[in-house]
Chains A and B, each alone.
Chain A
């Protein structure tokens, strides 16, 4: 019944779409698959840009007292690197996968609001263009924002950042925030309204479930960011006093509001990644996910708790022990549902038959790398440890183990997993394995060592440093690792380019996977399922179809 609404909504669009050819068919598209690809390509472009910024930083830090860039430029580099990777890379990549995959995985023909889908994407991209335009104002106006991606007041106020970099940052993030909000509402509506008959909420593929929860989180927290941004803009442009302590405002108010958005944002960047892992690990283990209910419920627990941990970014602020303790307990508590996930993914592999494809290798890499990031996260919940190493290179290591070792590894896993569906061709496994191992080695060389640097007292966000014992060698190693990591991305690009033209033909279901996206052709036709959606009677519709005598329903009954 729910399906009936879609064709009506799309009838008018379909005609218009088919009439367009070439690049116009992309720019004017409201098709979720084209928009999903645009999201992924746009975000990958910014991934390269953000990566180049990071390489410039690592060149500057390779040796002590380096004069490669000025402090002004360096501060722009790390501000833009952080802002880019969070707002223009990780979130759009995950939204891109969601835009492409969610309708397919729930057996829908498109997103609930195709036009909103296009609007969200283009607003987000224009936000990115506006952010980078700030570099072009350099000669006259001081260039890109340079106050850090967290934009702490009063440093971000006019008195201390009088160039318009901060204003570009504010306005482009407002645009990106609006785009993200639109995408989130669209995902929610799609999952609620457009599921194929039989696909109850408890039968949702875990990627869809986690994306769904993430979308709710976006709806909850993006407005907080936008409110904070507006207050900052009013301070800067209309001379208000929200965050200006010299005129009665509060510097700490900004931190509260920013992190009330900022920490849930970290989970927005990791939950869909969890979703990818929850698809990939079972398929390549040849088994259903272990403890579906627990993996699904722990997502809710994480989402809920993530709203009450923001001030663990503020343990050094001096808000009192009682205050710190509350947020420490919540932050520790969030490790429990996260641990539940790790253990369930691991248990999924037991008694399975593991196919170590590149996608699976990245998922396994994720398991261990994310565990390191998660555990160092627990260390930061131990307040006195935070009192030592927050704002040091230990944190730089921690966030990169979460967002690179976690999210980016999961994203690569997802790319190798879904590329055949999106393009109709397989990515090369040979290039893929080179890509994986170089990424793993380069990543660890770059970031593992930064834990030690932080413990040795190196603060983050410094454009240079004195040659203290050990700092020199470790920074050099970290820089070498960063270039190795960049080289691995180059291998990935080569793999993409080669496979897109000469890759093996994928067929509908190259991995013997079980979710609905594998029931249609690769790439799927306009409106996704030319021959109708297969019946959904469990969590693995294609398994049920292939094993009529051993459907999930029968197997679950036997297991009890």
Chain B
């Protein structure tokens, strides 16, 4: 039996904005859809009316051989131009409110996209998280986005515009949430085998709760105490885990895979492929290929007891 993520209470609906930027975009989106919808209704009506009125049947006169009308041509050239000028003006103003970001030297957040996970740096405190972005409610954070390999795209529909993450071309974003909650995000530029499981969550918390979280993340995890966990820590150091993963104040300093210093505090595993429970962690380590085929996480072929010990250790990394 597969352990699948969910149920999902959070969503990623573009028209349910939770930040001033996303709200501006959403308003323009709705307005444009209504405007375009009216044009569609008009064209559809004209076509259907013509079908009903001029359909060939007894009594319908012979077609009138007319060739066009300059007046009508002018009308349906000029009217669209005028309405598009209005739409262009609205576009320009919404671009400013919807994407106020400028390049910064000292971003509040630095997001590094990897094939197929997210590395989240808080440069001002040195905290490194992955696939889970905590932000304080009501504060606009400056974000720098960089890619470690191919082009990715950061998309949290309820919070901000989407923006590509291009190697050799750093991009910037303002990230902000109006109220506490979990907002879903995903990589939105095809980036290879596991593009589908390159999801993330933005967790907006009241400032005091956020500060608490940040403090907890800054602290090194306690040394394992139970014999099983101690054995697990040994396995982590001895087997190849430590080559790719880092755990603060241990010998593990790898930077290929996600930093695991506080893995037990995270909600999801493998960038959204699994919910983070001890049972799922065992299954994941037993055979990553089953849950995220193509991911760079190797199958270490651990014995059952080694697996349990390793998970016991990882679960201490709160």
Contact of A351 among B25, B66, B168, B169 (CB under 8 A): B66
Whether B68 and A290, one on each chain, are in contact in the complex, defined by CB atoms closer than 8 angstroms, is yes
Does A390 have its Cβ within 8 Å of any Cβ on chain B?
yes
Taking CB atoms, residues of chain B closer than 8 Å to A391 are 153, 155, 162, 188-190
Whether B163 and A316, one on each chain, are in contact in the complex, defined by CB atoms closer than 8 angstroms, is yes
Interface residues of A in 81-96 (CB under 8 A from B): none
Whether B163 and A318, one on each chain, are in contact in the complex, defined by CB atoms closer than 8 angstroms, is yes
Known: A285-B54, A316-B162. A385 touches B29 (CB 8 A): yes
Does A497 have its Cβ within 8 Å of any Cβ on chain B?
no
Closest to A336 in B: B80
Does A152 have its Cβ within 8 Å of any Cβ on chain B?
yes
Interface residues on B, range: 35 or more
Whether B190 and A469, one on each chain, are in contact in the complex, defined by CB atoms closer than 8 angstroms, is no
Known: A351-B66, A371-B40, A391-B189. A383 touches B91 (CB 8 A): yes
Taking CB atoms, residues of chain A closer than 8 Å to B39 are 371, 375
Contact of A252 among B87, B166, B191 (CB under 8 A): B166
Known: A384-B24, A384-B91. A155 touches B54 (CB 8 A): no
B72 to chain A, nearest CB (A): 7
Interface residues of B in 142-180 (CB under 8 A from A): 149-151, 153, 155, 157, 161-164, 166-169, 171-172
Whether B66 and A72, one on each chain, are in contact in the complex, defined by CB atoms closer than 8 angstroms, is no
Taking CB atoms, residues of chain A closer than 8 Å to B208 are none
Question: How far apart sit A129 and B76, CA to CA, in the bound complex (Å)?
Answer: 46
Question: How far apart sit A71 and B293, CA to CA, in the bound complex (Å)?
Answer: 7
A407 to chain B, nearest CB (A): 18
Which segment of A428-436, A451-459, A485-493 sits at the interface?
Answer: A451-459
Contact with A along B24-65 (1 / 0, CB 8 A): 110011001100100110011011001100111000111111
Does A409 have its Cβ within 8 Å of any Cβ on chain B?
no
Question: How far apart sit A463 and B191, CA to CA, in the bound complex (Å)?
Answer: 12
Does A304 have its Cβ within 8 Å of any Cβ on chain B?
no
Does A215 have its Cβ within 8 Å of any Cβ on chain B?
no
Whether B36 and A378, one on each chain, are in contact in the complex, defined by CB atoms closer than 8 angstroms, is yes
Whether B94 and A384, one on each chain, are in contact in the complex, defined by CB atoms closer than 8 angstroms, is yes
Does A466 have its Cβ within 8 Å of any Cβ on chain B?
yes
Contact of A456 among B11, B55, B67 (CB under 8 A): B11
Taking CB atoms, residues of chain B closer than 8 Å to A72 are 193, 293-294
Contact with B along A308-324 (1 / 0, CB 8 A): 00000000111001001
Closest to A160 in B: B150
Taking CB atoms, residues of chain A closer than 8 Å to B157 are 388, 457
Closest to B13 in A: A456
Whether B294 and A346, one on each chain, are in contact in the complex, defined by CB atoms closer than 8 angstroms, is no
Which segment of A39-47, A226-234, A326-334 sits at the interface?
Answer: A326-334
Does B15 have its Cβ within 8 Å of any Cβ on chain A?
yes
Whether B36 and A376, one on each chain, are in contact in the complex, defined by CB atoms closer than 8 angstroms, is yes
Whether B188 and A382, one on each chain, are in contact in the complex, defined by CB atoms closer than 8 angstroms, is no
Does B223 have its Cβ within 8 Å of any Cβ on chain A?
no
Interface residues of B in 184-232 (CB under 8 A from A): 184, 186-196, 199
Q: How many residues of A contact B (CB 8 A)?
A: 94
Whether A466 and B28, one on each chain, are in contact in the complex, defined by CB atoms closer than 8 angstroms, is no
Taking CB atoms, residues of chain B closer than 8 Å to A70 are 293-294
Whether A457 and B63, one on each chain, are in contact in the complex, defined by CB atoms closer than 8 angstroms, is no
Contact of A321 among B14, B28, B96, B196 (CB under 8 A): B96
Whether A389 and B32, one on each chain, are in contact in the complex, defined by CB atoms closer than 8 angstroms, is no
Which segment of A106-114, A186-194, A199-207, A291-299 sits at the interface?
Answer: A291-299
Does B126 have its Cβ within 8 Å of any Cβ on chain A?
no
Taking CB atoms, residues of chain B closer than 8 Å to A316 are 153, 161-164, 188-189
Interface residues of A in 428-484 (CB under 8 A from B): 455-469
Taking CB atoms, residues of chain A closer than 8 Å to B50 are 346, 349-350, 352, 354
Whether B64 and A457, one on each chain, are in contact in the complex, defined by CB atoms closer than 8 angstroms, is no
Which segment of B2-10, B236-244, B307-315 sits at the interface?
Answer: B2-10
Which segment of A118-126, A173-181, A243-251, A499-507 sits at the interface?
Answer: A243-251
Known: A287-B63, A346-B46, A351-B63. A318 touches B171 (CB 8 A): yes
Does B88 have its Cβ within 8 Å of any Cβ on chain A?
yes
Question: How far apart sit A315 and B14, CA to CA, in the bound complex (Å)?
Answer: 17
Whether A346 and B95, one on each chain, are in contact in the complex, defined by CB atoms closer than 8 angstroms, is no
Closest to A346 in B: B46
Question: How far apart sit A346 and B91, CA to CA, in the bound complex (Å)?
Answer: 30
Taking CB atoms, residues of chain A closer than 8 Å to B51 are 349, 354, 356, 364
Contact of A384 among B28, B81, B293, B294 (CB under 8 A): B28
Contact of A467 among B7, B14, B191 (CB under 8 A): B7
Does A379 have its Cβ within 8 Å of any Cβ on chain B?
yes
Contact of B67 among A375, A469, A556 (CB under 8 A): A556
Whether B65 and A325, one on each chain, are in contact in the complex, defined by CB atoms closer than 8 angstroms, is no
Whether A368 and B43, one on each chain, are in contact in the complex, defined by CB atoms closer than 8 angstroms, is yes
Taking CB atoms, residues of chain B closer than 8 Å to A535 are none
Question: How far apart sit A550 and B63, CA to CA, in the bound complex (Å)?
Answer: 13
Whether B199 and A466, one on each chain, are in contact in the complex, defined by CB atoms closer than 8 angstroms, is yes
B164 to chain A, nearest CB (A): 5
Does A266 have its Cβ within 8 Å of any Cβ on chain B?
no
Known: A155-B190, A388-B14, A559-B66. A251 touches B169 (CB 8 A): yes
Closest to B7 in A: A467
Does A342 have its Cβ within 8 Å of any Cβ on chain B?
yes
Taking CB atoms, residues of chain B closer than 8 Å to A556 are 67
Question: How far apart sit A246 and B166, CA to CA, in the bound complex (Å)?
Answer: 11
Known: A71-B194, A339-B76, A384-B28. A287 touches B14 (CB 8 A): no
Whether B87 and A382, one on each chain, are in contact in the complex, defined by CB atoms closer than 8 angstroms, is yes
Sorted from nearest, which 3 A-B pairs have the closest CB atoms? Answer: A457-B12, A245-B168, A286-B63
Given contacts A155-B191, A383-B91, A456-B13, could you give 14 more A-B pairs where the C-beta distance is less than 8 Å? Answer: A65-B2, A72-B193, A72-B293, A154-B151, A285-B54, A318-B172, A368-B44, A379-B29, A383-B95, A387-B163, A388-B25, A458-B12, A468-B12, A555-B65
5 sample A-B contacts, Cβ–Cβ < 8 Å, listed by A number: A160-B149, A333-B84, A461-B195, A466-B5, A466-B6
Interface on B for A, CB 8 Å cutoff? Answer: 2, 4-8, 11-15, 24-25, 28-29, 32-33, 36, 39-40, 43-44, 46-47, 50-51, 54-56, 60-69, 72-73, 76-77, 80-81, 84, 87-88, 90-92, 94-96, 98-99, 115, 149-151, 153, 155, 157, 161-164, 166-169, 171-172, 184, 186-196, 199, 272, 293-294
